[in-house]
Structure 1
Amino acid sequence: MTTALVYRAEEVTEYDDLAEAKAARGTTWVHAAEADRAEMDRVADCFDLHPLAIEDVRNNVRAKTEEYDDYTFVVVKLATLRGGETTFDEEIGDEPIGIFIGEDWVVSLTPVSADSIERVRRAVTSGDERFLHRGPDFTAYRIIDTVVDQYFTLLDQIEDDIEAVEDAVTTSTDIDTLEEINSVRRELLSFRKLAWPAREAVGVLARGDPKQIQEDTEKYYRDVYDHLVQLVDLTETYRDLASGARDIYLNTVSQSTNEVMKVLTVVATIFIPLTFVVGVYGMNFADSPYNMPELSWTHGYPAVMIGMLVVGLVMLGYFRREDYI
């Protein structure tokens, strides 16, 4: 779906013909949502957009900013959580938005539907004064700003996952807990791949390097840049928390294993002398003057059993006193 809006201080007009919208007086904004190859080519032909820039939108390249003779090209990424059977099955999905900022026009292209851009469009059509008295660089800023705001929402969901993991590692050593930790780490890695390039792309606009960015609009891009710096810092902090949760989990598993091994070692140690006793008395050599005399003793068997029980109890008491068990 492609829409063309032309707005100025007095009015907002929607056009069906792209060429007519481009030639109209005021700021022209053309937005192509869920655009296929043919629709992108149609918009590119009208505004003389470079084929390589269009290919970057189609191929979903990393976020970046490039300057051309007549316009500035910006790629940012829409970020969403793709649902799974559980919270930790979700994955971060990203879709490109190509923004072309001209002297008196702005074009936005995306192969998917974007609610964030639709909110900006509704603000323009409703006659928001912030748009009507500014140029295309401000419209591009609002698009990028809404995309970055979604990053905060996404990071809040990841933060909830981290808190759930931190609660789980102190109470459970199940393998599912480790899988949840690894899932959160993958989410953070995917999010980092979104935030870092976006920060670099917006940084170019915040410095006012492209000639299409007006001086009074640079402060808005600097605000978005500050948000992205905050997002990157939070991402690094959350990665440290996820790594710490994994270390706690591994230490908990190791401690649990040590406790089990300690109990098994105590049991084995108690049975070592008992095994020695039954081994010695199991050597029943007949017709020899060196046979053990107690073998023919009437109470020999119960005496040996009582002796073994006493040895076991003494060793068990010693281990308990030394806090081995």
Structure 2
Amino acid sequence: MTASSGLVSRRRAPVGTPPGTLIPDEKASPTTLRLTLIDDDAVEEIPRATIADVEDGIASGKRLWLDVVGLSDLDMLSELARIFSITPLALEDIHNTGQRPKVDIYGEHALVFMHMMSGNDVASKEQLAILFDRLHVVTFQERPEDCLDPIRRRLPAPQGRMRRGGAPYLAYAIIDTVIDAYFPLLESIGDRLETLEDEVTRDPKPNDVAQLHELKREMLVVKRALWPTREMLATMTREDFDLVPAAVNLYLRDTYDHAVQLIDIVETYRELTSGLLDLYLSSISTRMNEVMKVLTIVSTIFIPLTFLAGVWGMNFDTSASPWNMPELSAYYGYPLALLSMAVVGMMLALYFRWKKWL
């Protein structure tokens, strides 16, 4: 079953299911194996490998990178678990995507969980599990799209570190590539923030608020992926983490610095987004105040004019008394009344201008 709350979507077993149970997922991509055999002389790639190819590769003694794409074939996953000594609990974590980034140690191999971005939006996020020991690397990903093509292009280089650095270095290279893939995503978010900043400053619209909230949600997803990743990298760089040689540990520390840098960028963008929301509300409030000021001034100008119109509209009979509205019988009474109203209105407008209310 799948638990979803908008920001979090995770497939998990029903309540009460025994630990290590694999629940089929109809939406999972078909499972394919991409096997790369590595030695000092050559790199051989088998795009559509079988379980037999994997077993032959292990028997050959060569270093190998097995990329498992799609998690729908439970029988194949179970067979791979048998070959690489993956415990049922670890296999359950691999299959039930949405795990918190972490690293677990299982005897002679380590299992790393990460959130991988294969595109420039958070919708491309997927779980990547990396199993490695001193000779083999196995990656499990949800979909065919990934950000690991640079690794595949660098592997054939005869004198490259990836070719001769062993499985721990290859695992580091994969982790580093996944971390670096966050930079284009954050650059895209930064460009959208700059555009929104110009729009909010120049002409704020209600749609800007929806876009700002969407950016905040995306950055929350990125933050939830990066903070535990930093903890995972800190664990891997400790001196007591024996599966990573000292030479590779140095590179992992650089990857840790990249993760810290990414977290700083996310926090900066989140503060900028909150500032833009405050700027939007301030701009709308200022615009409303300007409108209310104009309406108040217009109303104030018309108050004495309404008073005059009310006085002259009482219509007392002038024949009954000379004190009863003598203006009603004046030959130029109507033009004079309009002129007096215009003079009063202009004097009030000039007074407001002098007080700098206009």
Cα distance change on mapping 1:319 and 1:8 into 2, 3 Å: same
- 1:1-325 counterparts in 2 under 5 A? 1-14=32-45, 16=49, 17-38=53-74, 39-58=76-95, 59-81=97-119, 91-286=122-317, 289=321, 291-325=324-358
Question: What is the letter of the counterpart of residue 57 of structure 1?
Answer: I
Cα separation, 1, equivalents of 2:43 and 2:213: 50
SS of match in other structure, 1:113: coil
Note the C-alpha offset of 1:72.
0.9
- Residue identity over aligned pairs, in percent, reads 36
Note the C-alpha offset of 1:168.
1.2
Decide whether the 8 Å contact of 2:162 with 2:173 is kept in 1.
no
Question: What is the letter of the counterpart of residue 43 of structure 2?
Answer: V
Note the C-alpha offset of 1:280.
1.7
Decide whether the 8 Å contact of 2:117 with 2:181 is kept in 1.
yes
Structure 2: where are the runs of 5+ without partners? Answer: 1-31
Query: For structure 1, which segment, 203-212 or 214-223, has the greater mean C-alpha deviation from structure 2 after superposition?
Result: 203-212
More helix by share: 1
Cα separation, 1, equivalents of 2:327 and 2:149: 98
Cα separation, 1, equivalents of 2:296 and 2:198: 32
Query: For structure 1, which segment, 182-191 or 302-311, has the greater mean C-alpha deviation from structure 2 after superposition?
Result: 182-191
Cα separation, 2, equivalents of 1:148 and 1:188: 15
Q: Which has the higher contact order (CA 8 A, sep 6+)?
A: 1
Note the C-alpha offset of 1:183.
2.6
Paired residue for 1:87?
none
Cα distance change on mapping 1:125 and 1:43 into 2, 3 Å: farther
Cα separation, 1, equivalents of 2:223 and 2:116: 13
SS of match in other structure, 1:170: helix
Give the aligned CA root-mean-square deviation in angstroms.
Answer: 2.2
Q: TM-score, normalised by structure 1?
A: 0.89
Cα distance change on mapping 1:132 and 1:168 into 2, 3 Å: same
Question: What is the letter of the counterpart of residue 84 of structure 2?
Answer: F
Cα distance change on mapping 1:40 and 1:126 into 2, 3 Å: farther
Note the C-alpha offset of 1:20.
2.2
Structure 1: where are the runs of 5+ without partners? Answer: 83-89
Superposed CA offset, 1:11-61 (max 9, x none): 434575222222332323211123423333332221121222222233221
Superposed CA offset, 1:258-287 (max 9, x none): 111111110000000111111122222447
Note the C-alpha offset of 1:294.
2.6
SS of match in other structure, 1:207: coil
Question: What is the letter of the counterpart of residue 116 of structure 2?
Answer: L
Note the C-alpha offset of 1:65.
1.0
Cα distance change on mapping 1:162 and 1:14 into 2, 3 Å: closer
Cα distance change on mapping 1:13 and 1:309 into 2, 3 Å: closer
Note the C-alpha offset of 1:291.
2.7
Decide whether the 8 Å contact of 1:116 with 1:143 is kept in 2.
no
Question: What is the letter of the counterpart of residue 104 of structure 2?
Answer: E
Number of residue pairs matched by the alignment: 318
Question: What is the letter of the counterpart of residue 258 of structure 1?
Answer: N
Q: TM-score, normalised by structure 2?
A: 0.82
Question: What is the letter of the counterpart of residue 61 of structure 2?
Answer: R
Cα separation, 1, equivalents of 2:276 and 2:297: 32
Cα distance change on mapping 1:80 and 1:167 into 2, 3 Å: farther
Cα distance change on mapping 1:25 and 1:268 into 2, 3 Å: same
